[in-house]
Amino acid sequence: MKPETFQAISGYRFKQTGLLDQALSHRSFSRGNNNERLEFLGDSVLSLAITQYIYQQLPDADEGELSRIRASLVKEETLAEISRKNNLGEYIHLGGGELKSGGFRRASILSDVLEALIGAMCLDSSFEQARDAVLFLFRDYLDTLPDTQSLKDPKTRLQEFLQGKQSDLPNYEVIQTTGKAHDQVFTVKCRVPAFSVETSGKGGSRKKAEQVAAGIAFEQLTS
Q: Across-strand partners of 174?
A: 188
Same domain, 187 and 117: no
3-state secondary structure the chain: CCHHHHHHHHCCCCCCHHHHHHHCECCCCCCCCCCHHHHHHHHHHHHHHHHHHHHHHCCCCCHHHHHHHHHHHHCHHHHHHHHHHCCHHHHCECCHHHHHCCHHHCHHHHHHHHHHHHHHHHHHCCHHHHHHHHHHHCHHHHCCCCCCHHHCCHHHHHHHHHHHCCCCCCEEEEEEEECCCCCCEEEEEEEEHHHCEEEEEEECCHHHHHHHHHHHHHHHHHC
Q: Residue 130's domain is classified under what CATH number?
A: 1.10.1520.10
- Name the least confident of 125-129, 156-160, 216-220: 156-160
pLDDT, averaged across the chain: 93
Average pLDDT value for residue range 164-187: 92
- What residues make up the domain containing 199? 154-222
pLDDT at site 150:
63
Residues 65, 28 share a domain: yes
pLDDT tens profile 114-139: 999 999 999 999 999 999 999 999 99
Average pLDDT over residues 159-175: 93
Together in a domain, 138 and 163: no
Q: What is the pLDDT of residues 57-87, one digit of tens each?
A: 999 888 988 998 999 899 999 999 999 999 9
**First CA to last CA across the chain, in angstroms?**
51
pTM of the predicted structure, to 2 decimals: 0.71
CA distance 194 to 167: 7
| Confidence at residue 98, expressed as pLDDT on a 0 to 100 scale | 87
Give yes or no for residue 12 having a pLDDT over 90.
Answer: yes
pLDDT of residue 185: 95
% of the chain beyond a pLDDT of 70: 98
Residues tagged active-site: 43, 115
Does residue 148 have a pLDDT over 70? no
121: which residues sit within 8 A by CB, 6+ positions away? 10, 12, 14, 45, 129, 130, 133
Q: What is the CATH number of the domain that holds 201?
A: 3.30.160.20
**131 and 162 both lie in a single domain:** no
Q: How many domains does the chain have?
A: 2
pLDDT at 151: 64
